Amino acid sequence: MLEARYYEKLADEKVRCRLCPHGCLIYPGRAGICCIRFNDGGVLRALTYGRISGMQLDPIEKKPLHFFHPGSKILSIGSIGCNLACFFCQNWQTAQVKDVTSARPAVAVEMMTEPLSVADLVVEASKLARAGNIGVAFTYNEPFIWFEYLLDAARALHETGQKVVLVTNGYVDEKPLREILPYIDAMNIDIKSFSDPTYRRLGGRLDVVKRTAEIANDSVHIELTNLLVPDMNTSSEEITSLVNWVADRLGPQTPLHFSRYFPARRGTMQATARGTLSTAHGIASKRLHNVVLGNI
């Protein structure tokens, strides 16, 4: 198992992970909040390095990226684990490991994933060029917690002229973000809400995600997704605040996708009403040029 990056060794074999703003203090034999960074006798291990939970060739619009090589395909892969805990998680079967199994972290990884080396990933993606593939999208679970594999794979993919896409919650520390950005071509960043109390309920912080989007926007193509969840983030005031930040800090050409929630995980409310998405589209279109509705 590969030793993880971005952590500190502490007394009594404890470690502190510095990959994301949780800064988990991890005791020997335990994993961090994301379930896949594990303290092995005082050494932090990246349990999911070279382990995937799924792989398929998708239209790039499905990521969703509508303004980055439209009409192309992208080989999409994911692993397991997440550093947020959204009660409505639409990908909980791979992201929320503890929902799936109570097995020890290394056993859970073994059960839920299969091996895929960086070299094999590059070959697989290259072979699919004939089918319209432009590279690899890291998606399905949070890619930043897969940092070591992501970095090695992104570098190798760039060496062969392929594109690298992240579909991310943006909850990462600034240093690892800046280290990996030169090897990333496009990102879809999920803005869960424009209310910090709501973000904290999901296990994150709004300021961190805004910072990630603003930094990424300086060097890569970004699109944003806001999953509209009933009774959580659908007020006109909240949508207006989100849209004003996008227009003022990222630019009015930044694509914003409003996506329709469906019941999943502990989210038992009915699917978002189509009228709610239309209202959000109307608000956003007053200031943004590229507003897209998804999952409708």
Give contact residues for ligand SF4 (rule: CB under 6 A): 17, 19-20, 22-24, 32-34, 37, 83, 145
Least Å from the CB of residue 162 to ligand SF4: 26
Least Å from the CB of residue 96 to ligand SF4: 13
On whether the CB atoms of residues 172 and 5 are closer than 8 A, the answer is: no
Least Å from the CB of residue 189 to ligand SF4: 17
Given the complex with ligand SF4, which of 8 and 159 has the nearer CB atom? 8
On whether the CB atoms of residues 221 and 201 are closer than 8 A, the answer is: no
| Sign of the torsion formed by the C-alpha atoms of 272, 139, 35 and 106 | positive
Least Å from the CB of residue 296 to ligand SF4: 33
Given the complex with ligand SF4, which of 33 and 283 has the nearer CB atom? 33
Given the complex with ligand SF4, which of 24 and 189 has the nearer CB atom? 24
Least Å from the CB of residue 229 to ligand SF4: 22
On whether the CB atoms of residues 140 and 53 are closer than 8 A, the answer is: yes
Tokens in use for 127?
A: 């072979």
Cα 17 versus chain centre, distance = 18
Q: Put residue 69 in one of left, alpha, beta given phi > 0 → left and psi -120 to 50 → alpha.
A: left
CA separation for the pair 165, 187 (Å, rounded) = 6
Q: In the bound complex, which residue of the shown chain has the CB atom lying closest to ligand SF4? A: 32
Given the complex with ligand SF4, which of 22 and 73 has the nearer CB atom? 22
On whether the CB atoms of residues 109 and 36 are closer than 8 A, the answer is: yes
Q: How long a stretch of residues is the chain?
A: 296
Tokens in use for 272?
A: 């978002």
Given the complex with ligand SF4, which of 106 and 292 has the nearer CB atom? 106
Least Å from the CB of residue 273 to ligand SF4: 34
Given the complex with ligand SF4, which of 26 and 118 has the nearer CB atom? 26
